[in-house]
Structure 1
Amino acid sequence: MTKKIVVTGMGATSPLGGNVRDSWNALLAGESGSHTLEHEWVEELELPVKFAAEAKVRPSEVLERPVAKRLDPSAQFALISAMEAWADAGEPDVDPERLGVDFATGIGGVWTLLDAWDTLRAKGPRRVMPMTVPMLMPNAASAAVSMHFHARAFARTVASACASSTESIANAYEHLQLGLADVIIAGGTESAIHPITVASFASMQALSKRNDSPETASRPYSIDRDGFVMGEGAASLVLETEEHALARGARIYAELAGSGVTADSYHITANDPEGGGASRAVTLALAQAGASPDDVTHINAHATSTPVGDIAEYAALRKVFGDRVTQIPVSATKASTGHLLGGTGALEAVFSILAIQDRKAPPTINLTTQDPEIPLRVSGETQALGDGPQLVVSNSFGFGGHNAVAAFRSV
């Protein structure tokens, strides 16, 4: 029997705010989290891109120092978002052996790794911290969340680039269906605004280079878009079966109705231009939800603001929705948050759920002249979603051809 999986808690720390509500309010207000980077290494290393969307609230403002010093920033963000989600869910009283963690990152502890390398070269091996490996490993975030909440059912990690955290949400759906846990903390995190990643993304012509206007640099669907903006942060969902949630009297935000995960098997960085793998992921998510394309009322698009990526996603959506794709309210929230890489899908899942709650599709800022090759229903203003049942699709696509889609339904 298929179980109904529901969302009972949400947490986030993002370039727009240090929690879910602040991030959502800033998104609706059309704010941008992108700013000029105020680090000496930007000028010292002559980086071609001098801006990014850093988390608005630093982990040091939230976590106690003894906790923070043993975690890479990516794991710090993960723990902060999970703590908010857990409190928001009412701190469920659950057997630790029935509590699981499905968490994700695209890159992991890059700051720890490269700081340790610098220390080794400058000061020798004796000065390298003994906690370096536990801090840099990609599963560190999942482990930190598991240990903090004594989650002993499992603590699993996904690393599928920018599809990572949506894939973790998909895994959580399956794990709950299989009865492997009663409650799961799922999400994703990233803290990779580092000289090496900025330089690398810039070298492959993936980043916007609008150094003179960071706030308007991310402009999905605009004809003059020139690349994405790096972001950082994390988001978490508390997921459980409806039966379990109702038994403990939990507030339910929405149903995680279905998910789909596919691979392009096309190119290590480029999307399949015809959108084959992406469209199959959307179709799988709808099938798992027992829904048709006509049921979808809103799409939170991957929409990174790259010249070819946005068009490929449109091609995928058109395969699924046909001509109706021009009538569905679409939001490209990376215009405001930047691209959180492995954390982006979880944050956009939170935004998708809040869109259902508030009946509002958030605005897509910086939309100057919309690309005529992408005739989606996108707006620089909030779009009303109406009073009827809602089914929202949230897309995430990553380097390596990874595609992950989650579908959320109103309850």
Structure 2
Amino acid sequence: MEKRVVITGLGVVAPNGVGLDVFTHAIKNGISGIKHDAELERLQFSCQIAGKPEISTQLALQYFSELELRNFNSTGILYGVIAGIDAWKDAGLSLEIKEEPDWDSGTIFGTGTSGIDKFRESIYKIDDFQTRRLGSTAVAQTMNSGVSAYLGGKLGLGNQVTTNSSACTTGTESILMAYERIKLGQAKRILAGSTSDSGPYIWGGFDAMRVCTFKHNDEPEQGSRPMSASASGFVPGSGAGALVLEDLETALARGARIYAEVLGGNINSGGQRGLGTMTAPNPMAVQRCIKNAIANAGIDANEIDAINGHLTATSKDGLEIQNWSVALDRKGKDFPYINSLKSMVGHCLSGAGSIESVASVLQLAHGFVFPNINCDDLHAEITALIDESKIPKQFIKKELNIIAKASFGFGDVNGCVIFKKWKAA
């Protein structure tokens, strides 16, 4: 018998808030975490603004020992471990060190790269004949699975411990992979999430592609403009989100607080065929992904109250809205509410799907729709399809039942997950 899967813990490290309380306050009030980045200016980037979480050494020492932080230089692992452990604690799970692994618990925690600054540091040391000075953690910091390895060790996880990687779809994919494993009874709980390194060595390639905005270096908080006619590219960001997924029976047995239920979802690819390319989505695949997610969740398209979109503040925003409208067969005032967290945090790349999923679940759990900022001048392509009231620019207090969260990534890969508000019987 297939298990029902619920969410019992949340953790987040975002540009506009580290920790659930600060993050929830920020998204409710439309607070941006995008700031001027002096290093990007020094390096003469076209885009000199970014969304970067602020982590003090004092905070890091709550999650890592002084010895672990010696020669530590991996922001992605730092963000991921903080978000993951916070989610674990939020779920009411123990951090007590035991002799035997927790065979019922695992983690699927994705990333795009790991420790790129540490990797650069290592290259210079090797070239300078200083290999012995790399340190004993150089491998753990630079291997792609470093974040799941750190979390697996800190939490004593004995089930699946792995890292997935699917560009901007990574976080949404990790949730769906965890959902499937628990549904089939192969684990009782999985810490699902994703993270992204920060800094010029991550963001430089996008700046070179001219997909990042360059028009708002003097007004950072106005730089990320999803669905706006004046959008000129995305703002690079970073951070991590984490969710504890658990089978319903186990969660109820231990008296866990339940945020939401994962009803299902879908992952697919456009194969870079038709209109799909390495950087552009195949509309047929996006629409198919959404439709199949709805079918997998066992709901009707009309039951979706809100959408947390991918919506990066590029020329493809209008196409995304069109794909949603076609897939749901809803338009005008019948279209669900839709918002983009990227208006406040920028595009957190491989961390985006999980951070945005945390925001989606918070909306369900606390009954609100967070505002889209910087989109007073909505693009005409979008207003021709859906009513402007469905793109809220102010906080809305509203009980929601079902939210669809989607991510569409480099390589023409797609993921859509369906969350439902938890209501105790």
Measured against the shorter chain, the TM-score band is over 0.9
How far, CA to CA, are the matches of 2:35 and 2:129 in structure 1? 33
Distance 1:71 1:4, change over 3 A: farther
> 1:215: how far off?
0.8
Check conservation: 1:48, 1:199, Cα contact below 8 A.
Answer: no
State the match for 1:225 in structure 2.
231
> Is 1:239 equivalent to 2:260 in the alignment?
no
Moved more, 75-84 or 53-62: 53-62
State the match for 2:297 in structure 1.
289
> 1:151: how far off?
0.5
How far, CA to CA, are the matches of 1:255 and 1:291 in structure 2? 13
Q: State the Cα deviation string for residues 99-147 of structure 1 (Å, max 9, x = none).
A: 1111101222212112222333456434433432221111000111111
How far, CA to CA, are the matches of 2:124 and 2:329 in structure 1? 52
How far, CA to CA, are the matches of 2:231 and 2:258 in structure 1? 38
Equivalent runs, 1:58-77 vs 2, <5 Å: 58=56, 61-63=59-61, 64-69=65-70, 70=72, 72-77=74-79
How far, CA to CA, are the matches of 2:261 and 2:313 in structure 1? 29
Distance 1:322 1:80, change over 3 A: same
How far, CA to CA, are the matches of 1:294 and 1:34 in structure 2? 35
Q: State the Cα deviation string for residues 286-307 of structure 1 (Å, max 9, x = none).
A: 1121101001001001011111
State the match for 1:88 in structure 2.
90
Moved more, 119-128 or 248-257: 119-128
State the match for 2:48 in structure 1.
50
State the match for 2:343 in structure 1.
335
Equivalent runs, 1:4-403 vs 2, <5 Å: 4-39=4-39, 42-58=40-56, 61-63=59-61, 64-69=65-70, 70=72, 72-91=74-93, 96-122=102-128, 124-193=130-199, 195-209=200-214, 210-266=216-272, 267-272=276-281, 275-307=283-315, 309-324=316-331, 326=333, 327-375=335-383, 376=386, 377-386=390-399, 390-403=401-414
Q: State the Cα deviation string for residues 327-371 of structure 1 (Å, max 9, x = none).
A: 311111110011111111111111111111222110010113100
Check conservation: 2:116, 2:201, Cα contact below 8 A.
Answer: no
> 1:316: how far off?
1.6
How far, CA to CA, are the matches of 1:135 and 1:325 in structure 2? 48
Letter in 1 for 2:419: F
Q: Which runs of 5+ in 1 are unaligned?
A: none
Check conservation: 1:392, 1:409, Cα contact below 8 A.
Answer: yes
How far, CA to CA, are the matches of 1:49 and 1:60 in structure 2? 30
Letter in 1 for 2:302: D
How far, CA to CA, are the matches of 1:161 and 1:325 in structure 2? 32
How far, CA to CA, are the matches of 2:51 and 2:393 in structure 1? 19
SS at match of 1:373: helix
Distance 1:360 1:43, change over 3 A: closer
Fraction of identical pairs, as percent: 29
SS at match of 2:125: helix
SS at match of 1:161: coil
How far, CA to CA, are the matches of 2:225 and 2:205 in structure 1? 21
> 1:191: how far off?
1.4
> 1:43: how far off?
4.2
How far, CA to CA, are the matches of 1:152 and 1:366 in structure 2? 45
Q: State the Cα deviation string for residues 72-121 of structure 1 (Å, max 9, x = none).
A: 22111111011111111111599711111111012222121122223334
How far, CA to CA, are the matches of 2:392 and 2:117 in structure 1? 37
SS at match of 1:162: coil
Q: Which runs of 5+ in 2 are unaligned?
A: none
> 1:406: how far off?
1.1
SS at match of 1:283: helix
> 1:71: how far off?
6.4
How far, CA to CA, are the matches of 1:400 and 1:172 in structure 2? 22
Q: State the Cα deviation string for residues 263-282 of structure 1 (Å, max 9, x = none).
A: 01115532235x22222222
Check conservation: 2:51, 2:238, Cα contact below 8 A.
Answer: yes
Distance 1:46 1:62, change over 3 A: same
> 1:212: how far off?
1.5
- Cα RMSD for the two superposed structures: 2.0
SS at match of 1:346: helix
How far, CA to CA, are the matches of 2:363 and 2:286 in structure 1? 22
Letter in 2 for 1:68: L
How far, CA to CA, are the matches of 2:243 and 2:225 in structure 1? 28
Check conservation: 2:73, 2:117, Cα contact below 8 A.
Answer: no
How far, CA to CA, are the matches of 1:211 and 1:38 in structure 2? 11
How far, CA to CA, are the matches of 1:312 and 1:66 in structure 2? 49
Distance 1:122 1:315, change over 3 A: farther
> 1:380: how far off?
1.4
Moved more, 292-301 or 373-382: 373-382
Distance 1:68 1:277, change over 3 A: farther
Check conservation: 2:101, 2:156, Cα contact below 8 A.
Answer: no
> 1:207: how far off?
0.6
